[in-house]
Amino acid sequence: MKATLEQTATNQKPGDKYEVVGGLLQSSGVSYTLDYSKPLGNRIRDVQVNGEDLDLHKDYKVVTHSGMLKGLHRYKELGNGKNIENKEIQLNEFVIAKLRELGEISKPKNMGEIKIIQ
């Protein structure tokens, strides 16, 4: 997960302004500090998932689309996940189906917080 968060930092500030790709990775329940004053590989710290410190020995469930799994926007780390389940449907169709399953939805208590240090 930290490698993916490092990539989102690189995508924002790659060194060459013509290499900027997208925005920060969209997430829910993940909070971290992105410190651009630190060297590459050390810019992400204080990572928490659902209010608990990131456990580097634990597996976490991630939902994304096939483009990201294939390395879109340089997110190559996502494709290295375990137990990848491909739904073979468009992302918007998948989201609509999941929302219908839930029946009732509400805003998550914690959307995650990102602290950025320039």
Report strand pairing: 44-49 vs 52-53. antiparallel
Integer-rounded Cα Rg, in Å, for the chain is 15
**110: domain range?**
2-117
Most confident of 5-9, 15-19, 24-28, 111-115: 5-9
**The CA-based dihedral angle spanning residues 68, 74, 76, 78, taken in that order and rounded to the nearest 10 degrees:** -40
Band (110; pLDDT cuts 50, 70, 90): low
Q: In total, how many domains does the chain have?
A: 1
Per-residue pLDDT tens digits for 43-58: 999 999 989 999 999 9
Is residue 27's pLDDT more than 90?
no
What pLDDT, in 10s, does the model give residues 61-108? Answer: 888 888 888 999 998 888 888 888 887 888 889 889 988 999 888 877
Q: State the CATH number of the domain containing residue 105.
A: 3.90.780.10
Provide the whole-model pTM. 0.78
3-class secondary structure, 74: helix
